[in-house]
Each structure stands twice: as structure tokens, then as C-alpha cells.
Amino acid sequence: MLVVAATHGNERCAAWLLECWLAQPSTLVNPQLDLALEYGNPAAHAINRRYVDRDLNRCFSAELLRGSCGDVAEVVRARELLALYGPGAECPAAVVLDLHSTTSAMGNSLVLYGRRPADLALAAAIQAKLGLPIYLHEGDASQSGFLIERWPCGLVIEVGPVAQGLVDPAVCRKTQLALEVALEMIAAAWRGELPLPRRLVVHRHRGSLDLPRRPDGTALACLHPLRQGRDWQPMRSGDPLFLGADGRMIPYVPSAELAGQTVYPVFINEAAYGEKGIALSLTSREVWPVEEPWVEDLSRGLQRGCPL
Amino acid sequence: MLVVAATHGNERCAAWLLECWLAQPSTLVNPQLDLALEYGNPAAHAINRRYVDRDLNRCFSAELLRGSCGDVAEVVRARELLALYGPGAECPAAVVLDLHSTTSAMGNSLVLYGRRPADLALAAAIQAKLGLPIYLHEGDASQSGFLIERWPCGLVIEVGPVAQGLVDPAVCRKTQLALEVALEMIAAAWRGELPLPRRLVVHRHRGSLDLPRRPDGTALACLHPLRQGRDWQPMRSGDPLFLGADGRMIPYVPSAELAGQTVYPVFINEAAYGEKGIALSLTSREVWPVEEPWVEDLSRGLQRGCPL
């Protein structure tokens, strides 16, 4: 099992937890799993910035890992993490849990990249226990190379809102709670006793929206006060979305693909996504039946890892 | 009148407002005052960091301004602002309003540096209208060189919580409200009609506390969840203050000077103050009678400025 904190160097809550757990392992409830605790990006953590050269959590694409970006700090670090714990390592981690925080009001949530059965099994079990929402990121060619994708099973625990550079004790508590339940569920799956619900609620990625901008890139609007902080809440055509510099409300107008559908925005006004041209992402809320093969996939993956 | 935004380059709310007001002056209610609108630190704003070389809002000390720090970007900018609008300028600003935001839960508040009668008159009138709290910073040799100190009258409008790098529409609204009331009161004072309350409530600076740290400087604790976000709320000896890495509560223990007194913490867990060794500041809540000479001082200062 690999637990990563500070994949982004200015997300301090999980980094603080990691420090606590390393100093005093008994402060993390662990059902006797063999845990590796790692700072994802220690160089960025040291300078309290998201990254040094490039977002580490977009550096795990096959292209970048294979490529010749030998001088990009984060690509070097991505290779290092894979050499230590990746599928080809001497003692590979079967599951990775990547702990993040956000300035968006995401609450305590899980992020999945794609529909891997093992991820879905683990996420379903955690959701059944904690009731937390799941953001399924898929079909977005502009955002790729996420850390957890390189391991056979992995989840992001995403908690907010919290400012960058800040240790907020309530955000720490939520992060630890989600992690402890994740560990409990992995141990249960290892024993072949994963308690699975019948259904899973996912918020499936459907696209992202940027602020309206002038041709020179400067913003023409900010988030509307009735949308700010309302992650996971329904949005329909015509609902207030942005507030123009001239004080006018700019409503949500769905794309042709989303016409007539209710969407559920996530990552609303995440401070780090401005540079990515994302003011919020849109999801569809879907209820899926949980499938038996998901658990089998998770169990098989756990058997392939080192002994617990 | 000088209105400054983005004295800290990653405080984006006031910067966004400034952009709106410059593009469309009618979006700011202004009782016909002659306003100069300035980005405090445009270079830091451009890179979305608090500062380039040094905190601009600590660069207005006589020593730094006189000194030989000619290559420090912020000292150069401080001299520039003074040359344009300072008391020695061709057309000096009589009052400066410096718009800030914070990751602390300060709400909508005013900050004063020292007990200048003109500042107290203006702050009392704004408080009477909006009911917002006032933090009086004084007697702190470790923090000096604030921008507003170089003008005969000046206030900081401080709004939070908001993450660094983020435009939060509710924080923008509060900032604009406080500024518009400040302008209204300055115009009233100019006409000799400043509506003054009988009393003023100030939260007077009594000192700052850092996190408990190891000899190497690393933190041994974070803010206690019962203290986080509770700016302006009373704290007494024994109340929970920090949460140790080992999970133990660390209570507030007053210094000899503050023994037996209730304190009111402010700037609790401001992200930018970690580097200054400040986890929170302590204040005493005091009710002062408003004095007639304060208004006279404000009026005299306004007469000395350029015609409105």
C-alpha cells in the first residue's frame, strides 16, 4: 500500500498528517496493512508551491515517462516513485491512495480516473460507509498523466475548501477519516470480506468551463455568488454562473451535448486551475449497480502485491 | 484619495474589483471624490505571488525608503507610489484606502496602524454604519513599514476568509461595501458633516503567538479545530489553542502581561504569516469614547489634499 501526500507542494493538510503519522505511527488507525508513506513532491513542498517545473499529477503519462524530459523536476520524481513502488518495483504497491486538498467546496470526496473495476469496488465500499461523493474523471484528453493511473488500483481523496499553504484541522480530520476507511476496506477485500453496497453514485465528468475572457486572455467575469461554493449541487440551463465585470449575471448555457440535462459542477473556482483554463467542471449524476467482477478485480490485484 | 488593491499580488479579490472599476467606473458608487485607483504591486500580481523580493506592505519604513535597497523590487515600488501620491507629490492624496484579503475568517474588517486621530474618526464613522470590527495594530516592533502609515490618514480594509489566488464574489462584495461606505464618510467629513457615534470598539494588538516548534523550526502542532476560523471570538486561559502532532490538545497559556485577561484572537492561521512566525495575534477588546479633535484632524487633513 502506498499513501502519498503533497503531490502538490502547497496542499499542506495531508503533508501535516503524514508528518504526524511518521513521528507517531499510532495516530493512524491501520488494520495491519504494510504502508509506505511518501511525500509526492518534496521539492515543491519545501518551497510551498504546487510544483517546481510542472504539475507532478500530470506527469504520469506514458509519453512523459518515456520521453526525454530528463531535466523536468517532476518527471524525474514521477520515475522515482514508480521505481520505488510501481508495478515493476521489487516490492510493488497494490493500491495507491493520493491525498489532495482544494480551494473548492468539495467536502470530503473521492476522485477516480476512468472506470477500472478495482477502483470502483473500493470507492463503492468507502461510499457505502461514509456517504461521500465520487467524481469520475474520464474522456478528457486535455487533462491526463495522473499519478494513480500508473498503479493497478488507486483513488484520490480530495478535501476542501482550504486555502493553499494552510493546515486546516477540520480538513485534516476529514482526510484522515477517508483514508482510515479506505485502509479498512482494503484489509476487508484482502480477507475476501469487502462489504459492498448494491449501488454506487458517481458524478461523471462531462467537460469543463473557463471564465469568459477577452482575446488577450484576461477575465471578463468571476464566478457568480450563487454558484461559488456550491460544488455537487444541480445546475440547469439559465442558472446564474458568472458575474460580469459590468455587474451583469451570465447564465449557464449548456453545450448541444448537454442540452436539457441537469449537471452537477465540481472543482468550482479551484485556485490552481486558473492556469489550466478551468473555472469549474461539469458532471452528470448517475447511479450504477455494483458488479461482482469489480471485487474480483480488486482481490486479484491485492494478491499480486507484496504480502500484507 | 488613493485606493490601492493588490498590495499583495496573490490577493485577487480587490484586484478584480479594481479591474471592474477601471473598465466601468459606474460600478463603484463614488460621492464625487477624486479617486486614484492603483495596483499596489503589479509585478507580484502578474505572477500571482504575495511579493517578488519582499513584502511591499513592510517596505514603507523610513529606514528602507531612505536606505540603499535600490534593487529590491518592492522598495522601488514603495518609492514610486510615494512620489506619485505621497505627501510630497505634486497632488498628494489626503487619504489612502488599502484593500486586502486574508485566509483567516476576519469577515469584513478594518485595520489601523497606531492611534492617529484622523484614522480613528474615519474608522468610527464606518463602524457606526456597518458594525464591522477594528483591529488596532500598535506597539509591535517586529512588524512595521505598512503602506498606509506614509499618508496622513489611511485604513486597511481586510476581508476573509478567501484562499490566495482566488476571486471570491462574496469577498469582493464585502470589500466594495466597506470601500463605498469609507468614501461616503470621507465625502461627509469634507462637507463637515461626518456622522460620528459616541463610542468606538477597537481590538487592540497585544502580541502574536507562533505554533509550537522543534529547535529546527518544524511545527509540533497545528491550530486546534475549536480555534480555527474563530477570529474576534473570546479566548481565555486553558481554552484549546493548538492540536499537537500526537493528537494532544495544547491550551492557551497567557503571558504574565495578559494573565487573567480575555483576549480576542485575529488573523488566525493566515497562510502568509507562517513565514513571519505568526499563527495568530491577540487583542484586547476596548470601548473608547469618540473625541471631537479626531474629526478636526481628519477635516484638516482633507483640506490639505487637492480639491475634491
pLDDT digits (tens, 9 = 90+) for A232-288: 999 999 999 999 999 999 999 999 999 999 999 999 999 999 989 999 999 999 999
Contact B113, B158 (CB under 8 A): no
A223, A245, A247 ranked by CB distance to B19: nearest: A245
Has residue A117 got a pLDDT over 80?
Answer: yes
Contact A19 B165 (CB under 8 A): no
* Least trusted range by pLDDT, from A183-187, B88-92, B153-157, B239-243: B88-92
By C-alpha distance, the chain A residue nearest B223 is A169
Contact B94, B302 (CB under 8 A): yes
Has residue B109 got a pLDDT over 70?
Answer: yes
Q: What is the pLDDT of residue A303?
A: 83
A16, A164, A223 ranked by CB distance to B165: nearest: A164
Mean pLDDT of B123-145: 95
Contact B269 A225 (CB under 8 A): no
Chain A to chain B Cβ contacts (< 8 Å): 94
- Cα-Cα-Cα-Cα dihedral sign, residues A129, A135, A138, A139: positive
Alpha carbon distance A106, B75 (integer Å): 40
- Cα-Cα-Cα-Cα dihedral sign, residues A204, A207, A211, A212: negative
By C-alpha distance, the chain A residue nearest B163 is A163
CB atoms within 10 A of CB A24: 13
By C-alpha distance, the chain A residue nearest B245 is A20
Give A57→chain B minimum CA distance, Å. 20
The residues near B236 (Cβ < 8 Å, ≥ 6 apart) are: B252, B262, B263
pLDDT tens for each residue of A175-221 = 999 999 999 999 999 999 999 999 999 999 999 999 999 999 999 99
Mean pLDDT estimate for chain A: 95
By C-alpha distance, the chain A residue nearest B46 is A218
Task: Indicate the helix (H) or strand (E) that contains A155.
Answer: strand A153-160
B27, B166, B272 ranked by CB distance to A103: nearest: B166
Alpha carbon distance A32, A183 (integer Å): 9
Q: What is the pLDDT of residue B68?
A: 77
Helix B169-190 and helix B292-304: axis angle, to 10°? 90
Give A72→chain B minimum CA distance, Å. 20
Give A271→chain B minimum CA distance, Å. 5
pLDDT tens for each residue of B164-196 = 999 999 999 999 999 999 999 999 999 999 999
Alpha carbon distance A263, A230 (integer Å): 12
pLDDT tens for each residue of B272-284 = 999 899 999 999 9
Has residue B307 got a pLDDT over 70?
Answer: no
CB contacts of A104 in chain B (<8 Å) are none
Q: Please name the amino acid found at residue B182.
A: A
A24, A163, A170 ranked by CB distance to B163: nearest: A163
- The proportion of chain B whose per-residue pLDDT surpasses 70, expressed as a percent, equals 98
Contact A159, A175 (CB under 8 A): yes
Q: Is B162 on the interface with A (CB under 8 A)?
A: yes
Contact B74, B52 (CB under 8 A): yes
Confidence of residue B305 (pLDDT cuts 50, 70, 90): low
- Paired strand residues for A109: A158
pTM for the whole structure: 0.95
Contact A280, A194 (CB under 8 A): no
Q: Is B28 on the interface with A (CB under 8 A)?
A: no
B residues 112..151 contacting A (CB < 8 A): none
CB atoms within 10 A of CB A132: 21
Contact A16 B228 (CB under 8 A): no
Mean pLDDT of A59-80: 90
Mean pLDDT of A33-43: 97
Has residue A68 got a pLDDT over 80?
Answer: no
Contact B167 A103 (CB under 8 A): no
CB contacts of A219 in chain B (<8 Å) are 16, 167
Which 3-state string (H, E, C) describes B120-189? Answer: HHHHHHHHHHHCCCEEEECCCCCCCCCHHHHCCEEEEEEEECCCCCCCCHHHHHHHHHHHHHHHHHHHHH
- Cα-Cα-Cα-Cα dihedral sign, residues B87, B89, B94, B98: negative
Contact A222 B167 (CB under 8 A): yes
Cell 508495478 appears where?
A87
By C-alpha distance, the chain B residue nearest A247 is B27
Has residue A67 got a pLDDT over 90?
Answer: no
Q: Is B73 on the interface with A (CB under 8 A)?
A: no
Q: What is the pLDDT of residue A306?
A: 54
B224, B246, B274 ranked by CB distance to A24: nearest: B246
Contact A169 B219 (CB under 8 A): no
Mean pLDDT estimate for chain B: 95
CB atoms within 10 A of CB A289: 8
pLDDT tens for each residue of B232-242 = 999 999 999 99
Give B10→chain A minimum CA distance, Å. 10
Fill in the DSSP letter of residue A188. Answer: H
Alpha carbon distance B44, A132 (integer Å): 38
The residues near B102 (Cβ < 8 Å, ≥ 6 apart) are: B11, B158, B159, B160, B161, B162, B267, B270
Q: What is the pLDDT of residue A305?
A: 63
Contact B274 A245 (CB under 8 A): no
A residues 3..22 contacting B (CB < 8 A): 16, 19-20
Confidence of residue B255 (pLDDT cuts 50, 70, 90): very high
Helices (H) and strands (E) in chain B, counts: 7, 11
B173, B222, B247 ranked by CB distance to A16: nearest: B222
Q: Which three cell numbers stand for residue A76?
A: 524525474
Contact A111, A160 (CB under 8 A): no
- ipTM computed for the complex: 0.92
User: Among A139, A142, A146, which residue's Cα sits nearest to residue A59?
Assistant: A146
Contact B121, B189 (CB under 8 A): yes
- The proportion of chain A whose per-residue pLDDT surpasses 70, expressed as a percent, equals 98
A168, A172, A269 ranked by CB distance to B166: nearest: A269
Q: Which tops the pLDDT comparison, B45 or B308?
A: B45
CB contacts of B164 in chain A (<8 Å) are 163-165, 271
